[in-house]
Chain A
Amino acid sequence: MLELQSIRLTQGDFTLSADCVIPAGARVAVIGPSGAGKSTLLSVIGGFETPDAGRMLWDGVDLTQALPHERPIAHLFQDNNLFAHMSAAENVGLGIRPNLRLTEAEKARVTDALAAVGLSGLEGRRPAELSGGQQSRVALARVLVQEKPIILLDEPFSALGPAMRGEMIGLAKEVSERLGATMLMVTHDIADVDRFADLVIWIEDGQCQPPRDWGEMKANPPQGLKSYIGT
């Protein structure tokens, strides 16, 4: 399980505070108004920002000072998830070895991962030669080979149309199930939450609420969520 213990991070006049526990294997949607601190929360968990106070633990191990690649975390960012000068296979291969010197067995894993996301035969294509949806699939294939127990998604599919986004969220869900990973996804869209999440973290003005069951939260929403959805 992932524990955020009294985390505080101040940036100018914005302060993020989080104090919560996320059970292992959960699929958590992070929602809240623009500027509430959703991306900042993921940056702290990912290790791109160091909190001013508090600790982060995974299965009891303190990771507060660990560098991003030392954490048991795979990422999908808002954009630039693929290196434009590398083929799909190379982009996936980086998830196995950062020097890209792969053994035959590892190359086979790359091919299998690309097949698992439905991209058989497109190993040699560069991102520019792939559609937006296919690019998302390559990035998900990399998450698959990284085999990390935590996956963070910061609105990675927001540039896709609604149908394609739904498809990708379904695929991301499959990937997390296959790996048994804990998944946190920032999103704006309640339909995404319905499709994907069992737990929801509501953030408003930097205040990060503990995760609640989505069904229960819909039945009994916090005041901010009511005006956010507009009901």
Chain B
Amino acid sequence: MADFTFEVVTQDRTVVLTDVEYVLLPGVDGSFGIMAGHLPIMAALEIGALEFGPLHGKRRKIALGGGFTEMHDNKLTVMAHTAELAEEIDVLRAKQAKSRAEQRLADRQADLDITRAQIALQKALLRLEVADED
């Protein structure tokens, strides 16, 4: 299969820049895949796991903290709030973040920002999931 250029960038660094066959992205209405020769597309991305690599076989994973993607000229760019490759994830920190968020949701103090705590929990769970399968 034909490859295309795939890039994930956050503001402070380029997370990956490589040629791949297939990318699976966490879209707002569920995951969707992109292969070479896709029509120009812009899509909103949710917090979720991103996979890239061969269509069949072992793919690498990224924990994505939401963002935006654009494909044109056979180049797919993901601009993310946060993005970490599975092997970069600090499992210990993610675990701490998870219990902290759970604690906060359980306590339910008056000034609690529930949405924010839920997002924190979601991100922590995602990181653990992505890191785990690596």
- The answer on A and B forming one complex is no
